[in-house]
Amino acid sequence: MYIAHTIAELRDHLAAFKRPAFVPTMGNLHDGHLALIRQAKPLGDVTVASIFVNRLQFLPHEDFDTYPRTWDSDCEKLRAAGCDVLFAPDEKALYPEPQTCKVHPDPALADILEGHFRPGFFVGVCTVVMKLFQCVQPRVAVFGKKDYQQLMMIRHMVRQFALPIEIVGSETFRADDGLALSSRNGYLNNGERAEAVQLSKALKAMAEAVQAGERDLAAIEARAMQALTERGWQPDYLVLRRRTDLQAPTFGMNGEPLVALAAARLGGTRLIDNLEIEAPAS
């Protein structure tokens, strides 16, 4: 696996390839990341991953300084998964001067849900992804569906800027008990880890209510919020939204595809998850 620490090194190495397949990460890799690498591998003529903890997407009170950095383990895992190239710039290499030019995504999508609770988050995400795209020049990029709103944001950005990149969404990789894999799961103690599966269970309960024909979406959401709160969670949101634009659904449309999305804090750890739902015909 070739490791590039500068943009020039990366571009020189990739000059021989025509269809890079790209998986951007912030490191601290788990099986979900490696599944993205394996999915990307047959989609291009070289498989590229990046590791960069992006300061721009962290709020001042969030965990940028303490975010786990596991370089040796990450490199070993990427090699084993068949990654060909790792782009691992430091901040000076990727942001040699203050990044005053930023991507400001559509507020209708960027300022709801995650964007509401983490103002400016998607500006940071879109800016770093755009810059990584310019560095790697991929023809395909693979993102996990666990970060559902982020995936939609990247797809929207690629369409708006007419970037020649196919965005592939990969299904959420879960532990045996249903917990969505996340780098932040490592913050959970043993008791919290056992409890964490309740987030995916809450989403399943919401999906089952919709599929059973219940139409009072506010009641479904309120039950889910209450169930987690009573277990000691601090939920930010548990909502049902249209998959097309993450707006509130209108059941006048037959078979409207939905997604249940959740973000909640368990102890000191904030977890997110989602579940796609096929709504019944009205």
Residues 6 or more apart in contact with residue 142 via CB below 8 angstroms: 21, 22, 23, 36, 39, 40, 43, 168, 169, 170
The answer to whether 209 and 277 have CB atoms below 8 angstroms apart is: no
Query: Is residue 105 exposed (0-12), middle (13-18) or buried (19+ Cβ within 10 Å)?
Result: buried
Q: Encode 204-229: b = buried (16+ Cβ within 10 Å), e = exposed.
A: ebbbebbeeeeeebeebbebbbebbe
Which residue type occupies 91? E
DSSP for residue 281: P
156 is catalytic: no
Residue 193 CB-density burial (10 A; 0-12 exposed, 13-18 middle, 19+ buried): middle
3-state helix, strand, coil in the chain (%, to 5): 40, 20, 40
Contact between 181 and 174 under an 8 Å Cβ cutoff? The reply is yes
Alpha-helical regions (H) of 137-197: 148-160, 190-196
Q: Find the catalytic residue in 5, 13, 30, 33.
A: 33
User: Can you say how many angstroms the Cα of residue 252 is from the centroid of all Cα atoms in its chain?
Assistant: 30
Query: Which residues are annotated as catalytic?
Result: 33
